[in-house]
Amino acid sequence: MKIGQRFNKLTLKEYFFYIDNYKKYTDFNILGLYRSIIENDKLDITSKIEVREYTHKTFKKSFDFLQLKDPQTYFDIITIGKELTQADENQIWSDIINNQQKILADKKIKHRNFGIYSKHSCGYSTCPLNGLMIRQGALISERFMHFNSDKNEYAAKNKSDRRRADRKRKKQTIQKNMSSD
């Protein structure tokens, strides 16, 4: 049987129904379910938290793996309705980074199941995402995570400006060397 509709359009009652009966549906997707809680505009914050808590009752273990598989969704889900300072956010990212290492260190888990990961590196030593494992090929989500705040966007722009300036400088140096020969 198929659900045949998008999770992010479900009402509170429908969420409960599909979670209770998830085994009957071949297109039931846990990650999709969690993502939909963020995207669903039919639910207010209180309902979103209610759906989250209800979903956790059945899928908490899978949810913990999202720290590795989709850290942005994990972050968004645990922070629903919370007002965070930059320090709070940094702390959460730091916890996620530590938990990723714990998940990967667990010998019972075959790393292959998670695909190939690389560490986030934007070149900024103060970036809270430093050390975060990101699935290879998931460049969109990496970019999304990084351009999340205006501050980061600004930093990234500076970075590309700097790169361009570096390239120019290099070119000039080469030309200079050639002409002085």
Residue ranges that bind Zn ion, judged by CB under 5 A: 122, 127, 129
Find the shortest distance in angstroms from Cβ 80 to Zn ion: 23
Q: Using alpha carbons, list the distances in angstroms from residue 98 to 89, 93, 128, 150.
A: 14, 9, 12, 26
Token reading at 158: 């500076």
Find the shortest distance in angstroms from Cβ 8 to Zn ion: 28
Q: What is d(CA 78, CA 24) in angstroms, rounded to the nearest whole number?
A: 28
**119 or 164: CB nearest Zn ion:** 119
**19 or 97: CB nearest Zn ion:** 97
Find the shortest distance in angstroms from Cβ 46 to Zn ion: 33
Nearest 10 degrees: CA dihedral of 22, 23, 29, 31? 70
| Residues 6+ positions from 29 with CB-CB distance below 8 Å | 7
**68 or 97: CB nearest Zn ion:** 97
Find the shortest distance in angstroms from Cβ 144 to Zn ion: 12
**62 or 141: CB nearest Zn ion:** 141
